[in-house]
Amino acid sequence: MKQFRTIVLLSSVLLPLAAMSAPTALDLNTFGGTGAGAYTLSGASTSGASIAYDTSNGANDIGMVTSINSGSLSPFTQVGDSMIYSFHLGGIAATNNQFTPIFRVGFDFGATAALRYATSTGTGPRLEFGSNTNGNPFTSGTVHVTHEDWCPFDLQDIRFDEGHEIDVAVSLELVAINDSLHDYQMTVTYVSTLNPSDTNSKTYTFTGVNGNQVVSLFHVTNSAGMVAGDAYTVSNASLVFSGPTVLDQVRASVDALPESTPEERVKKAVLQVEVERAANAEAVSLLEESDALLVEVQQALSRNAPEFTATNPGAPVNLPILRPLITPYVDNPYLQKLEQEATDGIATDDVLWPRALHYNQVINDVQGNYGARSAFKLMSEYLWLFGHDESPMKFDPELLKRVLRRAHAYMDSLELTPSVNADPAPNWYDQFSVYVAFPALYELRMLYPGLLMPAQLSRWDSIMNAVALDMESWYFMVLGYSPWNINIETGRLVGVMVAGLWTGNQQLVDRSFNHIDATTARLFPDGAVPYHGVGQASSNYHDILLEEWLILYELTGYQPIMDAMVNTQWRGPAMGRTEEFWTSPFYKTYRWNYQKGTEAGSELVATMSRNPYVRWLLDRDMFPDYFTPGSQLGHRYQAPWYDATVIANPLPDNYTIADRNTGGPRGWYGNFTYAGAFRPNPNSTRYEGHETLMGAMTVDDDGRVNSILVDVTPRIWQTPDNTVENGYDISAWADLTIYEDPATTISSNYSVSTSIHEITRKRAGSARTANVSGWTGRQVWIGLPDRIVGLVSTVPTAGEAAAYAINGVLRLISGGTAGAETTKVLEEIIPGTHYRYGQLDVFVHDSTYTSLTGLEVEYRVPTYPATELTFSNRASEPLPAGTQTTFPSATEFRFIVEVRPAWTTTDLTAVNVLGDQDLIGLDLVSSELSLQVWLNAADTGRSVMLQRGNLPAGTDSIVLSNGVLGRVPFDPSVPVSVNLVPGQHAVLVVSSDPEDHQVGWESFTQLIETPLIEFTRHVDGMEIEYRGTLQESSDLNSWTDMNPQPASPWTFIFEPGGKRFFRSRGYPQSQSTID
């Protein structure tokens, strides 16, 4: 039954309430018997009436009818008018008849129509809705319009059957008027008096009914289905007639608004959402809120439509939605994709957005229709499409409805839980929700205030003030805070900046700039951003961080953000055409998010740097078939910055470089790549350790990962189970590096990387170092164009050392969250010597372990396991912990492995171990290149007698390392011996290729800017002479002579194979090939 309440408002504004009758108890002595059958009507009174059947011989339908048209009952005149007839049905004595409809109740419109339902006795499951056109419920003109499954066995208590007691409500509501004909919706609800959980309800709409005045109610039984002694009693009968509620009337007024212009359609959409919100508030008994919303809607009905779409002349100039397009729609794939996704999205019904409450804040989890991330990314993109001047969907009302529903839900959640110190923290606090939602709410509030009711404007401001006050205590807002979880903090920093600008809280704005300055100042030379203070960059988050910076730049125009973004331009190209992740110590080395592609930044980076390699990476991965970095980005922030005139150059191939982001070598050779991470992290348990120093993978032709060596590590079993120490869950196994002493030697065609490090346990679920194990790892890695070779040694750190087990592990991954199309299975080609995992071959050249076992282990998703090739000091793995063993100081567990793509068919000629426990030597002999590496793993300096005779005859040289990425010239005079300080390595090289005796590329940028250029040419009418090595972003002062002088700076861009392009800094205004 509809409930009504008083709304205090000027009568000249408030729509009048429809008439509503109070529930009227029907005096059943007004029922009259009718029909030809023999029956007895008895006990007729205000409390009830009973009917008993004497016989059914040839009888027609018989029953009770009462006249209710006494002049006090209103006719049905407007949509929403309804009549509810309630009664109790009891005293039933009926012979089972499961087919014949026995009991009917209906509304008689006099001579024109009768509408009714009917049920059967006994086990009959039938409920029928029926009507006729002459108003006589007894005549043969009755039309059965539907059969419904009414009372299956588990609802037998509501059958018209012996001894059952049933409470019945039958409603009839006018739902449409078509000229003189009417559509009525009848709803029948039965509830068992004795078992109220047994209930059922059915609804049917009668169309084209001729009549709007009910003159009588009737109960009818089919005498053909009744026998002598059958009976029933009707009691507690009442009737209520009501018109539409205020909500119904306001909704009808809004739905009747014109929509011939875009402005009118926007006005209607705004008010329709407000009516929805009023209904949602009423549904959870927030009646005052519902009333206030309805009052505002009624007041807004008279507002001019253009007021709703008018932009605020005082809006901040730094709103992302105001950024004009560089490239128009016809050539802008981001905008085209954005439009297509939105068109498809609004073609289906939106989900319902109920009123948020403390116990149900609607926003749940991170993904899905109500996800803190997905729902408000959608809101942000739809708002841009709705409000941007160059959007093909500007002022689309359906977009607006979806924006407003989500915006109000988010603000309701903020109001309910403005503090993130709540337990649990509110879902809106998710960093990837904050950075998309807050700017969109800010744009909506500041640019299009007409889309909100006046009271909502002040309410939103009040909510944001409360949130801003809480933000002052957020941990990364503390003065002097050192950035740590960069992407998380920056995502939330977007919200802080918005709140500061929105509320005029200058402290929040200043602290936000402090955090930005501290973060951007830490960029690595090749554009990656360190994670967890000064640790290695974390894969998976670069593009998202760049989008967060982009939004902060759009909100503030702060030039250092722009500069930092441009300075990240080489991060993607330096990584190569497919993202690897093992160089990050962060726990996301347990890989998710990517299948192919490389995080190259954003369209702002491509446009402002004019970097052709960034352009190529973004073009290739813009809209792939599967999840890649670019697909995480909101297209709305990329669309304005996309510049179709930036020319794309594919990445070079067949090279080894020093990666200044990871502090190690990186090689790309066709579909095989390897990379090392040898920059040491700070020696503190606050920071991560490396789980692996070297990894490798193969990729498919399109760049999708195929087979991955993600982890090579010593692993020490320290305690039978995880332990809890200082409140942290500490792993039972030690496998992270700490106290590292690394060094690298990187040439153009190979690399040598070494490290001496202790091995530490970790905080479970992360890569934070914890308790040191008493064991030390020593690693030597050689990277070649077609393979990597690694020596991994584990010894006691000082004196004896204990462990339950000592393992050496190669972890191999492929399918599932690792990103490959299929999950590979380890094949044992030659037991103990040769294994194959997809496209990777593993050869074991040496081992001092007792056993080697291939194990499948759970890797994020159980159906996509990882494979661990496990060396062990025990007879096999896995085994229980057993008894801890103490090992003497002279113990060494060592293995040497070669990992190469399956298409490599040439074998190494020799791989030999040299030296002793403190002076590690390794020979590697091949047909083209031979190396002898010595690593001083002692605590003091050591003299090394080179064993030149182990290597083939040929041109040789030697180089001694100088830390990570040191660039020491090769010495062609090879001595008999060299002296090495602790942690230093020596590399003896034998090769006929002069490049192998030279220091290699110090960076990706140097790779693409060489070789030496000497030429004199006429280009575009200008005589140009140049000698020397072109430096990054060379401009006018790099030229010895240029006549005539150009009006703007110029630069060279190189493609693989020697093709060189001469372009202006603002190319492609001028572009020519130089022979």
- 205: tokens are 């709409």
Two structure tokens written together for 299:
């007041």
The DSSP 8-state label assigned to residue 163 in this structure reads T
Measured in degrees and rounded to the nearest 5, phi and psi for residue 520 equal -65, -25
> In whole angstroms, how far apart are CA 13 and each of 7, 46, 269, 282?
11, 43, 21, 21
pLDDT at 570 over 60: yes
C-alpha–C-alpha distance, residues 712 and 710, integer Å: 7
780: how many CB neighbours lie within 10 A of its CB?
24
Indicate the CATH number for domain 655-997. Answer: 2.70.98
Report how far residue 439's alpha carbon sits from residue 427's, in angstroms, rounded to the nearest whole number: 17
Q: What pLDDT does residue 24 have?
A: 55
Give mean pLDDT, residues 854-859. 93
Does position 931 have pLDDT exceeding 50, yes or no? yes
**Cβ–Cβ under 8 Å, residues 656 and 748:** yes
**What percentage of residues in the chain have a pLDDT greater than 90?**
60
Q: What is the pLDDT of residue 47?
A: 52
What pLDDT sits at residue 1066? 28
Ranking 132-146, 639-653, 1018-1032 by mean pLDDT, the lowest is: 1018-1032
Average pLDDT over residues 795-799: 95
Q: Which helix (H) or strand (E) holds 462?
A: helix 454-471
Higher pLDDT, 247 or 1068: 247
Express the helix, strand and coil content of the chain in percent, nearest 5 each. Answer: 25, 35, 40
Q: Does the pLDDT value for residue 49 go beyond 70? A: no
Give the distance from CA 32 to its chain's centroid: 68
Tens of pLDDT, residues 382-434: 999 999 999 999 999 999 999 999 999 999 999 999 998 887 888 999 999 99
Mean model confidence pLDDT for the chain: 84
Identify which has the larger pLDDT, 242 or 646.
646
CA distance 998 to 968: 9
| In the chain, where the domains are located | 24-243, 251-309, 326-462, 472-651, 655-997, 1010-1074
- The pTM of the full predicted model, rounded to 2 decimals, is 0.78
| CA nearest to 63, candidates 125, 145, 118, 128 | 118
User: How many whole angstroms separate alpha carbon 979 and alpha carbon 137?
Assistant: 114
Residue 103 pLDDT level (bands cut at 50, 70, 90): confident
Contacts of 718 (CB under 8 A, 6+ apart): 732, 733, 734, 761, 771, 773, 803, 804
**What would the two tokens of residue 863 be?**
């159906």
Residue-wise pLDDT tens digits, 738-753: 999 999 999 999 999 9
What are the CA-CA distances from residue 701 to residues 580, 627, 772 (Å)? 16, 17, 43
**pLDDT, tens digit (0-9, with 9 covering 90-100), for 126-156:** 788 888 876 666 554 566 677 777 887 778 8
Nearest to 812 by CA among 875, 876, 870, 753: 870
- Cβ atoms within 10 A of the Cβ of 363, count? 25
Q: Which residues contact 340 (CB under 8 A, 6 or more apart)?
A: none
Record the tokens describing residue 614, joined without a space: 């960034």
pLDDT, one tens digit per residue, over 170-212 is 999 999 999 889 999 999 999 999 999 899 999 999 999 998 8
Question: Sorting pLDDT into bands at 50, 70 and 90, what band is 1014?
Answer: very low
Domain boundaries 24-243, corresponding CATH code: 2.60.120.200
CA atoms of 400 and 383, how far apart (whole Å): 7
In three-state form (DSSP H/G/I as H, E/B as E, the rest C), the secondary structure along 582-639 is CCCCCHHHHCCCCCCCCCCCCHHHHHHHCCHHHHHHHHHCCCCCCCCHHHHCCHHHHH
DSSP 281: H
Handedness of CA 572, 574, 577, 580 (dihedral sign): negative
Q: What is the largest CA-CA distance in the chain?
A: 129
